[in-house]
């Protein structure tokens, strides 16, 4: 059923032409403010549309948030051409960052006390996000630099292999391997 809002009187009008004026403020379970509108009892009892509007209630009651005018302005802004452009831009730039911080970095809640600690937590999360993004978009030439290193000399590889073999042997076998290695070494190479 369509209820028309009149800004000047801060009241709703039902389809039968009866007015539902603002009556009182209330709070919801989460503590947000609500504005409650309702029609007089006599208007609803003698209304021909009562069977379809409020068949079991004594009167029609509407509950709106206290911030309804601000919500309506924001909704109107979002429906405009500029608002839809801004929404698309936000969806591609800001919202993915929030999604990553919430789902991948576990920041659905900040587990610290105080604004300063929460700010530090968010700052560290932003740094981690930016570093991850930076590493992802580095040029490929930096990634392949490690592959261009020259191979070590063959004698160094042989020396490293024998050191590993000697380290895995018993002490008596190590001494025997050292003696044979010293005897087999060419001149100018020290162990």
pLDDT string in tens for the chain (191-residue length): 588 989 899 999 998 888 999 999 999 898 899 999 999 988 888 888 888 888 888 899 999 999 988 998 999 999 999 999 999 999 888 888 888 888 888 888 888 899 999 999 999 999 999 998 888 887 666 555 556 566 666 666 566 666 665 566 666 666 666 655 555 555 555 54
Other Cβ atoms within 10 Å of 65 Cβ, number: 13
Concatenating the DSSP letter of every residue in 17-35 gives S-EEEEEEEEE-TTS-EEE
Contact 174, 189 (CB under 8 A): no
The pLDDT of residue 160: 63
- List the structure tokens of 159: 């020396």
The pLDDT of residue 153: 63
The pLDDT of residue 155: 63
Instruction: Give 107's DSSP letter.
Output: -
Distance CA 117, CA 108 (A): 16
The pLDDT of residue 105: 82
Distance CA 91, CA 85 (A): 10
Considering only CA atoms, which of 8, 13, 12 is closest in space to residue 22? 12
Considering only CA atoms, which of 140, 146, 102 is closest in space to residue 122? 102
Walk across the sheet containing 19-27 and list its strands. Answer: 4-6, 11-13, 19-27, 33-38, 61-65
Q: Tell me the pTM.
A: 0.46
């Amino acid at each position: 059923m369509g209820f028309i809002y009149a800004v000047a009187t801060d009241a709703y009008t039902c389809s039968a032409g009866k007015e539902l004026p603002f009556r009182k403020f209330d709070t919801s379970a989460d503590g947000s403010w609500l504005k409650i509108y309702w029609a007089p009892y006599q208007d609803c009892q003698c209304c021909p549309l009562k069977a379809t509007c409020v068949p079991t209630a004594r009167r029609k009651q509407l509950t709106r948030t206290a911030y309804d005018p601000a919500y309506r302005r924001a909704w109107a802004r979002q429906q405009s051409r500029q608002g839809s452009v801004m929404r698309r831009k936000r969806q591609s730039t800001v919202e993915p960052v929030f999604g990553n911080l919430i789902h991948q970095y576990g920041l659905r809640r900040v587990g610290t006390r105080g604004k300063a600690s929460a700010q530090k937590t968010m700052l560290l999360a932003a740094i981690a996000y930016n570093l991850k993004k930076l590493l992802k978009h580095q040029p490929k030439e930096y990634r392949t630099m490690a592959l261009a290193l020259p191979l070590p000399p063959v004698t160094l590889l042989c020396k490293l292999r024998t050191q590993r073999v000697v380290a895995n042997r018993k002490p008596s076998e190590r001494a025997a391997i050292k003696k044979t290695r010293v005897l087999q070494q060419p001149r100018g190479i020290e162990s």
